[in-house]
Structures are given as C-alpha cells and as structure tokens.
Structure 1
Amino acid sequence: MINGQNNCSSDNKCGRYGYCYMVKDEMLCECKFWWEGELCNQQSNSGKQVIILGCLTGTLVFIFFILKIIRTIHKKRKEPKANKKKEVLQDPKLINLAIEHVKKSTPVSSCLITILMIIVAIGTLVAKWSIIKEIHNEIINKYKNKNKEAIYFNRKSFCDILDIEQFNVVTFPVACLFIIICIVMIKRSSFMRNKCHGYGAPPIPVDFLSHVDRKFAAIVFAIISDELLGIVQEIGGSSGPKEGVLVTFLLRIFQVLIMGVRFYPILSSVYINSIISLVCGIIYAWLDYSFTIITQGMCYPTYYPTYDDYLENSTDISEKLDYYGTGSALIAIELCSDIPRYLCLAYISVKLPVMLIEKIYNQRKKNLTEENKMLLSLSREENFLLSVSHPDSAEMLYVRNLLRSADQRPSSQTLFARLIPKFIYEWRDDFQFSSRILCLYSSIFFLLFFITVQACVEVVPTLNTVQQALQITVDEIINLINSIIDTFSNNDDNEDKVPLSFPLPNLVKTYLCAVAMTVTLIIIQLIVFLVNIRRNLLQVYRGDDSEIPRRQRAKYISYATGNFHFAGYFIGFFIWGFIIIALFSTIVCASIGAFITYGSVKALEKVLKFIVPSILLITFKLFLNKLLAQYVFLQHYGDVLAVNNRRFYMIFIYFNFFLDAFLGFISAILRFVKSIIGAILYMCRLDYSALGRKLESFDNGFNAYCGFIHTECTHRHPVMLVFLSHLFNQIKKQQYTMAHIDLDDFTLEEKSVIELKKSSKYIRKWRLAVFLIRNPAIVFFRKTFLKQLCIEDLHAINDVDNDNQHNTQRGAAFYTRQMAAQRPSFVTEIDPTQIIILRF
C-alpha cells in the first residue's frame, strides 16, 4: 500500500480532476464532481447538464435585472417635470455643521472631564504595569527553572484579608453605610408619609424610563458587565467536594447581589444629585477605584495563576508563555484589555467631582431668574418632566411631526446624521432611547469585547497542539460516515472508491477568521436590533400592530414579567448566540480554508455535488416565474395586482400545479436548512422569533421583547409626556409664585388681589362643577366615580377600544345606561366617539 501511494505521488495520471489510489498494484482514478473516464479527462453528461443549467440561470437572472433597470429608467423619464423641481434650501456645509455640533456637544466641562479621565486612566495603567511586572518576573523565573518548578505566584497576605471568597470586607460595609445615609435623607412619596417626618425611603439607582444621566448609568453598567462575566465563568467551573451544584449556583447569585450593592451608592448619589449624596459618592467611588487597582493587580491578575489556580489545575501558563514568549507581550495584552474598564472607572471618579462643583456653583449663583430658582427646588423627576415641554426636546419634536409625512419631516442637523447614509440608518431628533437601552447596549458591547479578547488570548496558544488530535477526531467522524454510506449503498464497487476525507487547514488562521466573522455578524445583528427597537416603538406609539401584537388586557401580567426578563434574556441570548455563531463560522471558515489550502476536499465535494444542481434549478424556476409574472401575467408590468392574459395564465397555473410538486420537495429541504441558519444568525435577536409568526407566543424571548415595548409605550409615550409636562409646568409656576409672595411689599389693593388669587382653588372647584354639569360624560371617568364601580364595570369601560367584541358591547351598553340615568336637561347630544376621545 505504501508503494501504491508512492506510485500515485510520483506518476499521477488522474490529473487535477481525479483522485489517484492503488488497488492490488493497479492505479485507479476516481473523478471529481462531474468528470468521467479512466483518467478523468472527460465531462460527464451530468456535468454538461449542470453547465447548461447554470448558463441558462445566469442568462435569465441577467435578463431580469436588465429589464428591471430599463423599467426604472423609463419610470423616471415619465415622471412630470414639476416633481423634479424642488426648492433649493440653504443647507449648511458639513464643515460648518461639524464646527457647530462640536461647540454644542463639547462644553468646557466635557473637555475637562475627557482630559482628566485620560490622565487618570493612563496613571492607573502605569500603576498596574508596575504591579504586574513583579508578578511576571516571578512567573518567568519559575518557567525558566530547569527543575520544572510549579508555575504560580504567591499573593500578598492582605489579599486574603481584604477579599474573603471574593467578598470585599472594606468596600462592602462602606457601600452599606452610604446606602443607609441615602435612605435617611430621602422622603417617602406615598407610603406612611406621616412617620419620621416622611424621611426614610430606599433611593432609586437608575430611572430606566427617562433620560436622566443616561451616559453615566450606561458606563456604570458597562463595568458591571465585566464583573458579571467573571461570575458567569465561575458557574461553569466544577463545584468543591463539600459544595453541590445548587449551593454553588446560589453562591453565584449571592455574588451578583453583592456586585449590585457595590455600585448601588454610585448610581444613587448621582440620581439624588444633592451635595451630601455627591460627596458620599465621590468618597466611595475613589475608595472602590483604589481597591479595584490593588485587587486586580496584586490579587487577581487575568493571565497569571495563583496557588489556588495551580491546585485546581484550571490555568496553564506554560502554553501562553510558549506562544507569546517570555517578554512583555502578555503584560501588554492584559493592559490593553483593561483600557475600556479603567477608562470607565476614571470617568466615574472624575465625573462625580465635576457634578459636585456644578451643584455648588448653581446653588450659590446669584441673579438667577425665577424659573431657574424654581428648577433648583425641584427633584430630578420633576425637572425631567418639565424639560419635556422644551421646544427642542425629543418629545416636543415628535408631537410637531405627528401630522407630517416622512418627506416633510425636517432632517436632523446633527453631525452624525450627515455622516451616516440614510439607507443604513436615519438619525431622528424626535426620538431618544431610554436609559435602559443605553445601559443594556453598553453592557452587551463590553461583554462582546471581553469575550472576544479571552477567546483569542486563551484559545489561540492551544490550537497548534490541538490540531493533530482534532484531525484524528474528524477522521473518525468521516470514517463513521463512510461506513454508514457503505452499509446503505447497493453498489458493489465500494471497495474501489476513495473514502471521504476532510483535511483541516491551519487552525490558527481559521480560528481568527471565524472570530472576526462572528464579531462582525454579532455587531450587525445588534445594530439592526437597535434600529428595530426604535421602529417598533414608533409603530406602537401610533397604534400600528403589524409587527408587535396588539396590547390586550388579559396579558398585562405577561407584559410586566416579560419586561422584567428583557435585559437578562437579551444578555443570555447574546452569549449563546456568540457561541453558536462562532461554531458555525468555524465550520464555514474551515471549509473555505481547506479548499484554498488543498484545492479540493472530497467530503465537501459530495455535499456540493448534491446542493449545486438543486440551487440552480430552484433559482432558474424562481426567476422564470418572476419574469412571467411581471411582464406576461400582470397588468402595467406588475404595478397593478390584476391578471393580464387570463387564458394563458390559467393554462400556466394548470401545468405549474403539478410541476412545482418536484421543486417543493427540494424547497422543503432548503427550508429546513434556511431555518437552521436563520436560527443561528438570529439567536441574539429578541425581536425575531425562530418559531414563526403564528407560534411566536411560545418564544419567551419574543414575549419579553413585547413586554418591554408595551411598557415603554405606556410610560414614555411622547404625546402623553408633552401634555403632562405642560400641565405640570403651569401648576409649579403658580405654586412657586404664590409661595414666594411677600404681602408687606404691596398696597392694600394689591393685597386684596393677591388674596383673591390665593383663594382661586375655590373658584376652580366652582368652574369644575359647571364644566361637569355641561359635560356629564366626563363624570364617569373621574377617579371618585370609578372607585364606586365593581370590577366588571371597570373592565367594561377599559375594553371599549379593545378588540374583544363582547367587552366592547358591554362597555357601550354601560356608557349608554349611565347617560340615560342623567337629567335630560343636561344631556343634549351624545357623540358615539366621545368615549374614545375621552379615554385618549
């Protein structure tokens, strides 16, 4: 057999289109694809047919697109000239727009924060480099030792004191103390307001339904994602001998709660935005920053094993040192991977003092207007609600554009809107994402960065040693497939055939290409998902249920629980999507690499030999149907859905009825393959359900997405916020004016007028009574009246505009019954649509 292999290698008569192999000292050829003959130098009939089908399909596709281009040019030429003439508006140049945008978006405080953040981050990286350098030298000395000493570094003694089972005994008590301080200084809004003068309420870390401090919260959540990744990796590890799986999992949950408590004071101090809270936040942020540098540098370096790691045999530094060398490459990799983390930590430590200085300056600022004085006395929620009615707010711009079409809506004047093409993404000034979306996406992109770095740094050094073992595994799988084929094959010449084989290319290049392909696909899916969130929210705002199912009262609890799970499901789907897409990309890149390296791979040739004719046949039939439909069977070349040439249309449908049965069998296989590929590529998308439109309610991820969309629409509808902002603005102005009037500064006549204004609440009550007498239908929607109704009548009123016909009839009957119960002199005309208008 060895001599036979040598004869094939020295005197291969099969050429480039055949496989040479020896059987009983006789050299035979097995032809590739659609070649035949003893020396594989003749094209088979199947090969000629495939070439003809490919040429016909290419010609048909070429004709289709040429006709489409000609049709498009013809339409443009037939357009009236009046439509082509457009008014030339003075559009600012990109340079002027860039300068103006930079001036608006980069005030002095932002420039100062950026400079200080970079300085602090660089100082932190230099400090960590000096710490890591000592550990690196200790590891290198042990690695170069001829006695093969165990490679690990000895942690400092204070690491075990400061961090007991990754529980920081210093920062955690300080965090709890600052949380208690925040609780003491915050007033309750509804629960037991008379107790303790109203003080004593847990602070809100982040208002996920507003735009308050979105960037700061997003940066904090990015840091949290890094901490979460380490906890998730520990879940996959083996539990100790005394700990079961459930106890280990509960301990990880406890670590997540401790992690939340760690960042709770920082977020709460910014949300409260008082001098005391900001001072506490600064002290805690600097303390936590310092201990983060110490613990991550001296106690838990990323790529250097400790003694515990050596005992668990979970980290092997030898492979990394063999691959990256004993120089400073490993230190550089760790410091580069820490740049995003320390930039975020530096931003927090710099932003808090700047916010404190701005707060003190605004409170001590003199010559303030009455409006600014009123704003200083309000809380963060009240300030946000008042800012909604500002002319430049996103909600106000949305209300202005309600009755405008997409062409009439003014384009955005920001720099990013000009740089990004509209066919990719249209920037809109009348929409802003909530804090929850920004926090979620900052966490996702940080997770993507850290997972990619670890996937490259940890796996690449092991690929050279794994390639041989992996090739043996692939050969065993191929041999198993060969045996299955031989078992079910009726051909007696199986012994004369070359077995299937799949030689692996260079795994390092293949793996890096697969990682790059995975990251690219994930980023595209995340960006498309972000665009779809905006589109679905705008659709739900205007009552469009074409993509998101219509809201129903019976599913309110499901929407609430789905909104709870939205962020967690998104992160979980993202992690699994990354893993599955990485496996899929590795297979694709390995197949392409094998073709490039070896020229041909028999296992892939067998697959392509089955797939290519099917794809060509389906493509040919698809474009033939398109050509016939547009240019033969539809009127006005497909612009009108009306049948033309009715007689030939019926004849074609008759024969096509049976013809497509054969294509349907092939299409069913392609449908299965497409569904698998689609489920893999869209795994990290919650707005897409792999189960299909009719079964999407069984998808927990899609249900969570629907709950998030409906909850956002209920609490962040722009029309509702603008209306409430106008009302709240007028109320606060009147309250502030009446509370800051000094009667000693006015004459007797002016005092009488002011006293009359102070008693205006009685006048408002009389006006309300007259208004209700003239409009009795509004009485049924006042809070006092609704409290007297039973639950069935409340549901009936609530379901007047619902899609349930029974509830709609019940609500209308209830409304008519209550109208008839009123005094006839007060009810002149009842508009049937009035109840819907009042509910809106």
Structure 2
Amino acid sequence: MFAIMTKQTRSRTGHWFQGYGAIPMPVDFFAHIKRTFVAVVFAIYADELLDIANELISGGDTTSGQGVVLAYLLQIAKVLIIGFRRYPILAAVYLNTVFTLCCATLYAWLDFAMIFRGLPWLYRMQQSLQVMIDIGISAIKPSGEKFNPSVKSDFPLPNFIPAYLIAIVITLAIIITQLLVMLVAIRRNLLQVFRGDDCEIPRRTSSDSIQHASGNVHFAGYFIGYLLWGYILVGIIAFIITLIMGSLIRFGSVRFVERILKRRGIIGGIVYMCRLDYATMGRKLETMDEGFSAYCGFIHMECAHRHPVMLFFLSHVLRQYLESTKKLSRAHRKWHIAVFLIANPTFVYRRKAFLEQSNMNEKRLMLIGLRNRRKIYVEQPFNKMTQHASVISQIDLNDLSQRQQF
C-alpha cells in the first residue's frame, strides 16, 4: 500500500501509473527535518545491533555443532529481521499521511500484542515481598509467634498490577509532555541565540569553541540517554509512590500523602529529570552538567551554521555569482571594496597592502637609525660591526629604491 502511494522522483514521462509504485524511503539521515525521530531510530537500532554483536563476541547463542559460517549467517538473518520488522513503521512516519500513520498504529499494536505475554513477574514479586514483610512482622512481635503462610497478613500489600499500569500511564504522560516542551524550548532558544539574547543559554566565547563542538557531537547521545533513563527512573519512582499512596490511603494515613504532594521540589525534580535544557545545578554551576553543556553546544553550533541572516547573505552572493556572466571591471571592483571598507573599518588594518606599508615604514625607520648612528661615529675608525651595518643599510636602500621604481 505504501509503494502504491509513493511516486518516483526520477520517472520518465509516459511511465506506467504516472511514476507511482516506488519503494518508500524509511529514513533520510542527510535531511534537516525529523532529526529527533532519526536520532531515536538510530538509538533503537544501535541497541539491538549491539546485543547481536555481544552475542557474537561472547558466543552465547552458538552451539557446539554450529560452524563459523552458519553463526555469521544467523547473525545476518537477525539483522535483516530487525530491518524488516521496523521498516513499515519508519516508512509510514516518513510519508506522514493520515492513512499511513493509522496503518502504522495498527501494525504497532499487533507487534506489541505478539510480544506481550502478561506480567507474571509482578505477581511473583508481590508474593515474595508479602512473605518478607510477614516474616519481619513476626520477628518484631513480642509474643514470638512463628510465621505461618496460611494465616492472613497483618499488613497486606496492595495489588501491584493496577499500581504498575497507573505508573506507566503517569510516566508516558510526563515523558511525552516534557519531550514536546523541550522541542518548543529548542526553537525558542535558537531564536534567542539568533538575536543575541543570553537570558537562558550562556553566551558563546572563543575559548569554549572546542567544548561546544564536542557537545554538539554528543548531543544526540545525551538526548537519547536522558530520555531513556528519565523514563526508567520516573517509572520506578511513580510505581513506588503509587504503592505507598495506595497502602497509606488503605490504612488511613492520608496526612503523610498530603505532605508528599506538598513537596514541590521533589515532584519538580522527578518531572524535569529527562530535560537537557534544564540545568538542575543552577545558573552558576550549570556548566558542570554534561547534558546541559551538550545542549548549549548544539544550540551554538546550529546558530553558527544555520543563522538566517548568514544563509540569506550567502544565498544572495551565490545567486549574484551564478547569474553574472561578465567580469566586473577593475574600477567597479575597487568601488565595492571601498564601500565594504567604509562599512567595516576594522578590516582596513588586515589588508595586505596595509601590512606591507607598515613593514616598509619599519624598514625606513631602521635605515634612518642606521644613518644617524653612522654620522655619530664618522670620525672613529671603522670596525667590523660598522662595516657590516653599512653593507646592510646599502642593500636595504637599493631594495627600497627598486620597489619604489616599480
């Protein structure tokens, strides 16, 4: 279905089906659009391929009867299966239509239903924790009663499955909201840096260029790492808080729950855990945060290479160069240089003619000093040093006179 909707970019006129019927492209790594999506896809593929490489290096999946060629063929087959499994979703997101996105949603649900086998480990973990709590309570009791599994527990734990589902929903809501807010913050910070506003992003200095370049390279890794670790940590914390709140509400300790909810700092730290643009150490210590430093490097590198004023100026110059068919005359070129130097007077001191003129002035001053020194010691007998100085001065004078003639 996706191939029928995709049109060939280089199709001949009069081709069958008017050029439709091409294989859709899953991901374009060289485009400047959907780069966050490309980074997430790259992280997923890198993780799965790393697992395959670790299995191949450790030799965990290979049996004694398999040869080296068969082991490599099996690993190649796994890589192809990963590609075929992810290809429909990637192609649907790249086409970005309502029909393709609906098909990708159904495909993702079916894929998740095939790999989802319930959560039996939650029930086993709940039973193990309940046994441990009952043993601890029986040990603390002064009567010294022995632990009996058939007796009902004095402190029954709440059901883990509803708490787990609530924690997953809360985590997804927090992560998706923070991701959308961070994308908006990237656009806002880019516009601020374009106009020279450093209220959120520190101003770029020449000494930090290497650090910004390194941060720009590591930005995708930090972005994915913060997102994944934030998802895991927020999920665990939300699961624990949900269990504690369920237990306290069940046993009537609502005041403790109110105290937890009033701690805005704890809740804010949990919510902003996956944000790169939010430095948890404060403005003075924000450079110690590696994630925030990588984010600043990404913003400054984008500003240096994709500033709209610079791009417009370069496109204007390139368009003039491509459209011009005649060479500019010498007078026309000099007028352009004069107007440019009037608008930018600091470039006058960096021109080649000015530097040569300054060197000529230095030589003239040196020759004048040599002449005065020779006049002072004219009555004294010539020694080797004065003869050498006179020879040098005569050579410099000859060179200077020849340059002035030409």
Same-fold call, TM > 0.5? Answer: yes
1:779 corresponds in structure 2 to 347
- Going from structure 1 to structure 2, the CA distance change for 1:238 and 1:613 (only over 3 Å counts) comes to same
Alignment of 1:168-179 (within 5 A): none
Name the amino acid aligned to 1:691: M
Does the 8 Å contact 1:686/1:702 carry over to 2? yes
Aligned to 2:128, which of 449, 453, 469?
469
Contact 2:168 2:235 in 1 (8 A): yes
Q: How do residues 220-239 of structure 1 correspond to structure 2 at under 5 angstroms? A: 223-231=41-49
1:214 paired with 2:33, answer yes
The equivalent residue for 2:331 is: 763
Letter of the aligned partner of 1:762 in structure 2?
Answer: R
TM-aligned CA distance change 1:584 to 1:785, over 3 Å: farther
Give the residue type in structure 1 aligned to 2:90. C
Alpha-carbon distance, 1:549 to partner: 1.4
Aligned counterpart in structure 2 of residue 457 of structure 1, from 106, 111, 116 = 116
- For 1:551, which of 180, 204, 211 is the aligned residue? 204
Tell me: CA distance 1:474–1:609, structure 2 relative to 1, closer, same or farther (3 Å): same
CA–CA distance in 1 between the matches of 2:20 and 2:223?
31
Instruction: Give the aligned partner of residue 223 of structure 2.
Output: 570
Distance 1:236 1:592 in 2: 41
Whole-Å separation in 1 of the counterparts to 2:116 and 2:43: 19
The offset of 1:578, in angstroms, is 1.0
Matched, 1:683 2:273: yes
Deviation per CA, 1:280-332, whole angstroms, max 9, x where unpaired?
xxxxxxxxxxx99x9249x9689xxxxxxxxxxxxxxxxxxxxxxxxxxxxxx
Q: Residue type matched to 2:156 in 1?
A: P
Equivalent position of 1:600 in the other structure: 250
Which residue matches 2:291? Answer: 701
Aligned counterpart for 2:185 among listed residues 532, 550, 553: 532
Look up the match of 2:88. 342
Secondary structure, aligned partner of 1:546: coil
Deviation at 1:777, TM superposition (A): 1.9
8 Å CA contact retained: 1:559, 1:708: yes
CA contact (8 A) 1:220 1:344 kept: no
Following TM superposition, by how much is the alpha carbon of 1:782 offset from its aligned partner in structure 2, in angstroms? Answer: 5.2
Q: Normalized against structure 1, the TM-score is what? A: 0.31
Q: TM-score, normalised by structure 2?
A: 0.59
SS in 1 for 2:250: coil
Q: How many angstroms does 1:459 deviate by?
A: 6.7
Matches within 5 A, 1:345-356: none
- Supply the distance in 2 between the matched residues of 1:112 and 1:713 (Cα, whole angstroms): 42
Query: For 1:517 and 1:457, how far apart are their aligned partners in 2?
Result: 20
Distance 1:704 1:460, change over 3 A: same
Partners of 1:510 and 1:589 within 8 A in 2: yes
Structure-2 residue corresponding to 1:168:
none
Shift of 1:723: 2.1
Equivalent position SS for 1:600:
helix
Counterpart in the other structure of 2:157: 504
Inter-partner Cα distance in structure 2 for 1:301 and 1:530: 29
Q: How does 1:395-410 map to 2 (within 5 A)?
A: none
Q: CA deviation at 1:229?
A: 2.7
CA distance in 2, matches of 1:778, 1:223: 48
Q: Distance in 2 between matches of 1:236 and 1:507?
A: 34
Q: CA RMSD of the aligned region, Å?
A: 5.0
Q: Using the TM superposition, give the Cα deviation of residue 609 of structure 1 relative to its aligned residue in structure 2, in angstroms.
A: 3.5
**Counterpart of 1:535 in structure 2: which amino acid?**
R
- Show the counterpart of 2:317: 727
Instruction: Name the structure 2 match of 1:521.
Output: 174
Aligned to 1:713: 303
Shift of 1:700: 0.7
Per the TM alignment, residue 237 of structure 1 is displaced from its structure 2 partner at its CA by: 8.7
Q: Which residue of 2 aligns with 1:355?
A: none
Cα distance in structure 2, aligned partners of 1:112 and 1:470: 66
Determine the C-alpha separation between the residues in 2 that align with 1:695 and 1:466. 41
1:579 alignment partner, one of 232, 243, 263: 232
2:40–2:224 CA contact under 8 A, matched in 1: no
Letter in 1 for 2:250: S
The aligned runs of 1:125-136 (5 Å cut-off) are none
Question: Equivalent pairs: percent with the same residue?
Answer: 34
Match of 2:102 in 1: none
Structure 2 counterpart of 1:590, one-letter code: L
Match of 1:295 among 72, 77, 89: 77
The CA distance in 1 between the partners of 2:340 and 2:163, in whole Å, is: 76
Distance 2:81 2:352 in 1: 61
Q: CA distance change for structure 1 residues 232 and 472 in 2, over 3 Å: closer, same or farther? A: farther
Distance 2:211 2:259 in 1: 48
Q: Does the C-alpha gap of structure 1 residues 589 and 457 become closer, same or farther in structure 2, counting only changes over 3 Å? A: farther
Give the Cα–Cα distance (whole angstroms) in 2 for the partners of residues 515 and 614 of structure 1: 20
Amino acid at match of 1:682: Y
Please state whether the residue corresponding to 1:682 is helix, strand or coil: helix
Corresponding letter in the other structure for 2:251: V
Contact 1:678 1:690 (C-alpha < 8 Å) held by counterparts: no
Q: CA–CA distance in 2 between the matches of 1:576 and 1:772?
A: 53
CA distance in 2, matches of 1:516, 1:235: 33
TM-aligned CA deviation for residue 778 of structure 1: 4.7
Report the alpha carbon displacement of residue 546 of structure 1 after superposing the two structures with TM: 1.2
- C-alpha change, 1:461 and 1:235, in structure 2 (3 Å) is farther
Letter in 1 for 2:228: I
CA 1:711–1:227 in structure 2 vs 1: closer, same or farther (change >3 Å)? same
Count of residue correspondences? 309
How far apart, CA to CA, are the structure 1 residues paired with 2:56 and 2:264? 37
> 1:377-433: per-residue Cα shift (whole Å, max 9, x none)?
xxxxxxxxxxxxxxxxxxxxxxxxxxxxxxxxxxxxxxxxxxxxxxxxxxxxxxxxx
- Residue of structure 2 equivalent to 1:799: none
Q: Please list every run of 5 or more consecutive structure 2 residues that lacks an aligned counterpart in the other structure.
A: 10-16, 61-72, 96-104, 143-152, 357-406
Structure 2: distance between partners of 1:551 and 1:541: 12
In the TM superposition, what whole-angstrom CA distance separates every residue of 1:314-370 from its partner, at most 9, and x where no partner exists?
xxxxxxxxxxxxxxxxxxxxx9xx4x532425888x9xxxxxxxxxxxxxxxxxxxx
Stretches of structure 1 lacking an aligned partner (at least 5 in a row):
1-105, 122-204, 243-290, 303-334, 351-445, 487-491, 493-499, 616-669, 739-756, 789-840
Judge conservation of contact 1:779–1:785 (CA < 8 Å) in 2. Answer: no
**Aligned partner of 2:334: which letter?**
W
Shift of 1:510: 2.5
